[in-house]
Amino acid sequence: MQISQINPINYAKFGKGSSIVNNSPLLKPLIFNAHFTDTFVSQSSKEKELIKKVFASTKKFSIRNYKKLNDREIEALRNICEKDADLYLTAQDNINNALILKSYLDNKYGKDKYVFCSIGRSPSGIARVFEFMGIETKYLPISGLRNYPDIDCVLGGAEGLKEYGKLLKKQGISNEEISKSDKSYLFYDFTSTGRTLCYFKDLLSKYYKVKQPNMQFLSLNGDLSKASENDNKLLKQAEKYINFYLRCSNIETYSGICELPVNRLFDADKCKKFESEKAKQFNFLVIDILNEEGLLKENSKNKKSL
């Protein structure tokens, strides 16, 4: 698929009777700030019961959870989630930009011949879309790396490197796993100075001794721009995504990935499959939209993903 052939998904059918539907990608109304509490003030008791039944019973809302719902429950949840304009548009924006990046990566590495590794929380919105499209996806929470002057200081200030190493191995980040794979392992982060990406690469290679020729460390904002550079409309869409979600860290509100400071890596075990209700609803909308468009796909290798 050529990047220029990608059209924004038509979401009109997901917002029947709603005034917030916007088919133009990334036209998020910055003056509109729909808070989570505002959305649910007028919920009926049935809506509250449904929310509790579906989202309170799981640490992470997944495709498996979605498939357990009947049509009436899906329709009801869809209507509830669409009331939150920010949530609704965030799901739309992440899908549209994930499709741009996927087309670029498919052309560069081969269709789905790569593993998407999200460093920290910035790439996690697009990573969720990739996960639910069947692309092998890894989540590697870590934050605060860029606050150190060099990797030696990182290693000196880190607490819990052994515990974090266990998390990496459970995510499949090891010499053994990566060396036997025929896929490219793409480690992505939002970059400004590129310091975090550089330090994470050094952390893997110098401390954990994980270094393979099929590993690449890449800028998410850089590749989104490259993927869109030949289409002005897509480029503007990507730039809006970069500025609103990545540069300002707004995607973290919807991320199911916990913040894990580098000086508290011993808390790595707490990151396993935990999501806020907002993140669960984001997952639901992404899964629901992908399902309606015939793009939903499970990958057994994602069972251990956060």
Q: 45-68: per-residue pLDDT in tens?
A: 888 788 888 888 888 999 999 999
> What is the predicted pLDDT for the residue at 21?
35
**Residues pairing with 217 in the sheet:** 187
Domain range enclosing 200: 61-293
The stretch 268-281 carries a mean pLDDT of 88
195 within a domain of the structure (yes/no): yes
Share of the chain above pLDDT 90, in %: 70
- Assigned token pair, 108: 């560069």
For the ranges 15-19, 29-33, 243-247, the lowest mean pLDDT is seen at 29-33
> What is the predicted pLDDT for the residue at 173?
97
Distance from C-alpha of 131 to C-alpha of 62, rounded to nearest angstrom: 10
38 within a domain of the structure (yes/no): no
- Assigned token pair, 200: 């994470």
| Residue 103 burial (10 A CB sphere; 0-12, 13-18, 19+) | buried
Predicted confidence (pLDDT) per residue in 112-125, tens digit: 899 999 999 999 99
User: How many angstroms from the chain centroid is the CA of residue 217?
Assistant: 17
53 within a domain of the structure (yes/no): no
The stretch 151-167 carries a mean pLDDT of 92
Predicted confidence (pLDDT) per residue in 283-300, tens digit: 999 999 999 999 999 999
Q: Looking at per-residue confidence, does 37 or 139 come out higher?
A: 139
41 within a domain of the structure (yes/no): no
Share of the chain above pLDDT 70, in %: 86
23 within a domain of the structure (yes/no): no
The stretch 126-132 carries a mean pLDDT of 98
Q: What's the start-to-end Cα distance of the chain, in Å? A: 29
Under the banding of pLDDT at 50, 70 and 90, the label for residue 273 is confident
33 within a domain of the structure (yes/no): no
**Residues pairing with 119 in the sheet:** 140
> What is the predicted pLDDT for the residue at 8?
60
The stretch 180-207 carries a mean pLDDT of 95
- Say if residue 5's pLDDT is above 50: no
pTM for the model:
0.86
2 within a domain of the structure (yes/no): no
> What is the predicted pLDDT for the residue at 198?
96
27 within a domain of the structure (yes/no): no
Q: Looking at per-residue confidence, does 127 or 7 come out higher?
A: 127
Number of domains in the chain: 1
> What is the predicted pLDDT for the residue at 274?
78
> What is the predicted pLDDT for the residue at 255?
87
- On whether the CB atoms of residues 260 and 271 are closer than 8 A, the answer is yes
Q: Looking at per-residue confidence, does 28 or 199 come out higher?
A: 199
